[in-house]
């Protein structure tokens, strides 16, 4: 047991020594990255100098990620180095755009490389037209030499197999015949030698043309590869545009949300004002409803009329009697008149003469005067003129 404890202490001491060495070297993080700033420097640039442009400036910080929080397409993380802790924001869509842009850059490098290889291959077959023309000329020369050689061989065979001329039937001179045969043989030998050289040249040209064709196939493959790279770049650009549109839409949503928040606040203020107005209008409506109820035939109006109708009828009949118009005049609650003469015959207002109508009008006028006097202590004098002549 004691040996195990001693071994554990020994291992702990060795690890501490290694840790002290790392601290002295200043390399607290075992990786190949080289930092160019610290968390404290970035904070200073951001909060004190206010010179950070997230779209144009980049930093390399050597530290340890202490925490992260993923929220949909966005994330937050805290990184810590020897100078402090820095929180940074990660936008997934922007990272996707950056990755896509990196892919485009890589494809562009591939296009440049393949284009350079294509140009080098094109330089190798710069003599394509010249070789093709030469090949045609060699074949034409070969055909002419074959025709010439065939003609000489035919003549040689004729002189070797004939002693007489088939046209004139004369004997061919032996010396002449021998001379022609020698010339024809020499000519055939000369043409065969030339044909041999020509065939070698044709073979060399065909070899070169074969190489040119192989090179042209390689160039075509390079062109197809470049087209694929360009198509990939085009698709990636479309992808970047789509992602940027999504980012813009989200930014517009944030702006729209801010505008909507302002509008909502304004609407809430309007709602509060409208509710206050509603309370006032409701109170005013209560007063109007009360007044309307009081003024209805079933309300206070009926009670007042019932209270004053007997007095009004009494005064009307008294005034009519004072004007020697002996009828019984009665008003009901709806101010419909009932006029009886001798308390039996029933008449209406239109049944009387103009003078009698005038007496009825005056009696009602005097009655209202008396009612006003009783209710409001108001007393008035009336001046009535009739048949005025000027």
What's the pLDDT score for residue 188? 77
What's the pLDDT score for residue 51? 60
For the ranges 97-101, 231-235, 300-304, the one whose mean pLDDT is highest: 231-235
How confident is the model over 103-119, as a mean pLDDT?
87
What's the pLDDT score for residue 290? 76
Q: How confident is the model at residue 53 (pLDDT cuts 50, 70, 90)?
A: low
pLDDT at 220 over 80: yes
For the stretch 340-390, pLDDT in tens is 876 567 777 787 888 888 888 888 888 888 888 777 766 777 777 766 655
pLDDT at 27 over 80: no
For the ranges 170-174, 183-187, 374-378, the one whose mean pLDDT is highest: 183-187
What's the pLDDT score for residue 253? 54
What's the pLDDT score for residue 206? 84
How confident is the model over 332-343, as a mean pLDDT?
76
The per-residue pLDDT of the chain, averaged, comes to 77
What's the pLDDT score for residue 306? 76
What's the pLDDT score for residue 193? 83
How confident is the model over 187-215, as a mean pLDDT?
83
pLDDT at 204 over 80: yes
What's the pLDDT score for residue 260? 61
What's the pLDDT score for residue 258? 55
pLDDT at 207 over 70: yes
Choose between 177 and 301: higher pLDDT.
Answer: 177
What's the pLDDT score for residue 223? 87
Q: How far apart are the first and last CA of the chain?
A: 151
What's the pLDDT score for residue 277? 86
In the chain, where are the structural domains located? 2-92, 120-250, 300-376
pLDDT at 238 over 80: yes
pLDDT at 3 over 70: no
| Range from 140-154, 157-171, 202-216, 322-336 carrying the lowest mean pLDDT | 157-171
What's the pLDDT score for residue 326? 83
How confident is the model over 174-198, as a mean pLDDT?
79
Q: What percentage of residues in the chain have a pLDDT greater than 90?
A: 0
How confident is the model over 65-72, as a mean pLDDT?
75
pLDDT at 185 over 80: no
Specify the CATH class of 120-250 in words.
Answer: mainly alpha
């Amino acid at each position: 047991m004691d040996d195990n404890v001693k071994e554990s202490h020994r291992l702990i001491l060795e690890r501490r020594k290694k840790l002290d060495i790392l601290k002295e070297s200043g390399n607290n993080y075992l990786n190949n990255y080289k930092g160019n700033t610290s968390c404290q420097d970035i904070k200073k640039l951001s909060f004190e100098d206010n010179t950070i442009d997230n779209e144009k400036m980049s930093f390399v910080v050597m530290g340890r990620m202490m925490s992260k929080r993923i929220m949909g397409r966005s994330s937050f993380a805290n990184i810590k180095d020897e100078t402090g802790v820095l929180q940074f924001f990660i936008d997934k869509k922007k990272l996707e755009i950056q990755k896509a842009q990196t892919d485009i850059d890589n494809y562009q490098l591939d296009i440049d490389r393949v284009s350079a290889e294509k140009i080098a291959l094109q330089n190798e077959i710069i003599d394509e037209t010249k070789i093709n023309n030469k090949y045609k000329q060699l074949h034409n020369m070969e055909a002419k030499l074959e025709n010439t050689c065939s003609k000489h061989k035919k003549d040689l065979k004729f002189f070797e197999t004939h002693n007489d001329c088939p046209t004139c039937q004369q004997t061919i001179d032996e010396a002449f015949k021998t001379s022609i045969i020698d010339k024809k043989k020499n000519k055939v030998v000369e043409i065969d030698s030339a044909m041999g050289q020509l065939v070698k040249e044709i073979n060399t040209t065909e070899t070169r043309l074969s190489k040119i064709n192989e090179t042209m196939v390689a160039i075509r493959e390079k062109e197809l590869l470049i087209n694929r790279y360009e198509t990939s770049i085009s698709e990636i650009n479309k992808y970047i545009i789509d992602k940027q549109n999504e980012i813009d839409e989200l930014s517009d949503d944030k702006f729209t949300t801010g505008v909507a928040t302002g509008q909502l606040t304004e609407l809430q203020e309007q709602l509060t004002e409208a509710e206050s107005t509603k309370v006032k209008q409701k109170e005013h409506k209560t007063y109007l409803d009360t007044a309307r109820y009081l003024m209805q035939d079933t309300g206070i109006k009926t009670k007042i009329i019932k209270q004053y109708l007997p007095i009004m009828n009494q005064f009307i009949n008294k005034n009519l009697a004072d004007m020697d118009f002996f009828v019984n005049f009665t008003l009901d609650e709806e101010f419909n008149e009932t006029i009886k003469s001798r308390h039996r015959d029933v008449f209406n207002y239109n049944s009387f003469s103009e003078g009698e109508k005038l007496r009825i009008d005056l009696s009602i006028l005097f009655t209202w005067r008396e009612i006003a006097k009783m209710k409001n202590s108001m007393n008035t004098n009336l001046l009535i003129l009739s048949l005025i002549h000027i």
